[in-house]
Amino acid sequence: MHPDIHDAVQRALAEDIGAGDITTNLCVPAEATATGRMVAREPLIVAGVELLPLIFADCIVTITRRSGGRLENGAEIAVVRGPARSLLTGERTALNFVQRLSGIATLAAAYVRAVEGTGCRILDTRKTTPGLRRLEKMAAAAGGATNHRMGLYDAVLIKNNHITAAGCVRAALDRTRNAGVPVEIEVRTREELDEALACGATHLLLDNLSPAAAKEWVAHIHGRATVELSGGITPETARAYAETGADFLSSGAITHSARAVDINFRIEPD
């Protein structure tokens, strides 16, 4: 598992536990053991279960539903057996991660279902919780989305402010000729679109167009470059955008606006 994930879990545990779980340590005998069952309380796509062995490090963790699985209300996700104190101390951190990440996976899956059969793929974005990007992108992938760039270091994405700062579309593209990584450019007008195509752009981002306008632009591009559409696309509008002929739809909402789903962790003494 990536070091970023281990670090995120350790920081979350330290944030919650601090100098010690005083409630649990005062109320529960050190020798007591228990079993905890994590259960879905609504239909969802589960994600983040890989973190449970890290959170409950001194327990036996049995994962019954892998990330990416579609669960109905009442479905068991995992069983944790071990010291009762460990279960109680790790409970909230475990739920915070799995509820949040499953919410992202569930929303991603709604987008993916909306474009099914069109050939268009759903992309996530960098609009993630600081420090949790790798986890949130894992969750988006569990829901069927395709991960876009991980950060500013693994792909070029020339946005409108880059074009403004560079001077024009051509100037920005010319400076990325030998980047050695994928290059995508956002175009805001038909003039910029034609300039980008004339410069050999192979991946275009069209932002904040209506489905009708996007269809016209995609037809004008006519396969000369792959096309990504973005800007306020929802699961309800995704199909109309996918049917324009675009190759990708991207949505920041998958990570920045996903609702944490309802999951319960029931503890019973042995």
**Same domain membership, residue 133 and residue 15:** no
Please give the single-letter amino acid code of residue 165. Answer: A
159 is catalytic: yes
**Same domain membership, residue 149 and residue 87:** no
**Same domain membership, residue 245 and residue 123:** yes
pTM as predicted: 0.95
**Same domain membership, residue 77 and residue 9:** yes
Which range of residues forms the domain containing residue 77? 3-112+258-269
Phi first, then psi, for residue 123 (nearest 5°) are -110, 145
186 is catalytic: yes
> Tell me, what's the pLDDT at 204?
98
pLDDT bin (cut points 50, 70, 90) of residue 188 is very high
Encode pLDDT of 101-126 as tens digits. 999 999 999 999 999 999 999 999 99
Q: State how many domains the chain has.
A: 2
Of 37, 92, 113, 215, catalytic: 92
Encode pLDDT of 46-90 as tens digits. 999 999 999 999 999 999 999 999 999 999 999 999 999 999 999
The CATH number given to whatever domain includes residue 182 is: 3.20.20.70
DSSP string, 45-67: E---GGGHHHHTTTSEEEE-S-T
92 is catalytic: yes
> Tell me, what's the pLDDT at 77?
98
**Same domain membership, residue 263 and residue 248:** no
- Answer whether residue 201 shows pLDDT above 90: yes
pLDDT bin (cut points 50, 70, 90) of residue 260 is very high
- Answer whether residue 1 shows pLDDT above 90: no
DSSP E strands, the chain: 33-40, 44-45, 60-63, 70-71, 76-83, 121-123, 156-158, 183-187, 203-207, 226-230, 248-250, 263-269
- Answer whether residue 206 shows pLDDT above 90: yes
**Same domain membership, residue 122 and residue 215:** yes
137 is catalytic: no
In what helix (H) or strand (E) does residue 118 lie, and over which residues does it extend? none
Give CA–CA dist 105/155, Å, rounded. Answer: 24
**Same domain membership, residue 248 and residue 120:** yes
pLDDT above 90 as % of the chain? 99
User: Any idea how long the chain is?
Assistant: 270
The CATH number given to whatever domain includes residue 95 is: 3.90.1170.20
Of 81, 113, 126, 127, catalytic: 127
**Same domain membership, residue 29 and residue 135:** no
CA distances from 78 to 35, 41, 42, 94, 178 (A): 11, 13, 15, 11, 48
pLDDT averaged over every residue in the chain: 97
Of 65, 81, 113, 159, catalytic: 159
> Tell me, what's the pLDDT at 210?
97
**Same domain membership, residue 121 and residue 33:** no
The two beta strands, 33-40 and 263-269, are antiparallel
Q: What is the mean pLDDT of residues 215-236?
A: 97
Give CA–CA dist 229/221, Å, rounded. Answer: 13
**Same domain membership, residue 227 and residue 264:** no
**Same domain membership, residue 120 and residue 103:** no
pLDDT bin (cut points 50, 70, 90) of residue 222 is very high
Of 16, 76, 194, 207, catalytic: 207
**Same domain membership, residue 212 and residue 122:** yes
